[in-house]
Amino acid sequence: MTMEEGERLICYCPVCDSSSVRMDARTVRMEGHLRLAHLHCRKCAHGVLALVLVNRVGASSVGVLTDLAYEDALRFQDAPPIALNDVIDVHLAFGEAGWTGAAPVKKRHAKVTRLPS
Ligand SMILES: [Zn+2]
């Protein structure tokens, strides 16, 4: 089985069940027998990131719905993973007065602090 045949197996939209004729598939990355593909449904405009493994035995794949465009998938593929302190920093930033110019949001959670590095 070729990589293209394996990719064709996953070319249906899990949201609206459109077939491969309505799906655009582009390769984000290839490494050996693995291909990361971005699928875009022309009918409902949802996206899927699919990891496809093709070898002599056959093909298997796993996909996740995404709001990433193909260009975003290319851009973020080598980005560092999000660390817990990154999430805490965003939480703290949203909790600060003046973030949006609106009145401060009432804090309903315990005090959040960064983890030691
Ligand atoms: Zn669709």
Sketch the domain layout of the chain as residue ranges.
3-76, 80-117
Range 11-27 average pLDDT: 82
For residue 4, the model assigns a pLDDT of 61
Higher pLDDT, 92 or 16: 16
What is the pTM assigned to this prediction?
Answer: 0.66
For residue 66, the model assigns a pLDDT of 94
Q: Nearest-CA neighbor of 42 among 69, 9, 13, 10? A: 13
Q: How far is the CA of 1 from the centre of ligand 1 (A)?
A: 26
Q: How far is the CA of 38 from the centre of ligand 1 (A)?
A: 13
Q: How far is the CA of 95 from the centre of ligand 1 (A)?
A: 37
Q: How far is the CA of 55 from the centre of ligand 1 (A)?
A: 28
For residue 45, the model assigns a pLDDT of 92
Give 109's DSSP letter: S
Higher pLDDT, 12 or 7: 12
Q: How far is the CA of 43 from the centre of ligand 1 (A)?
A: 5
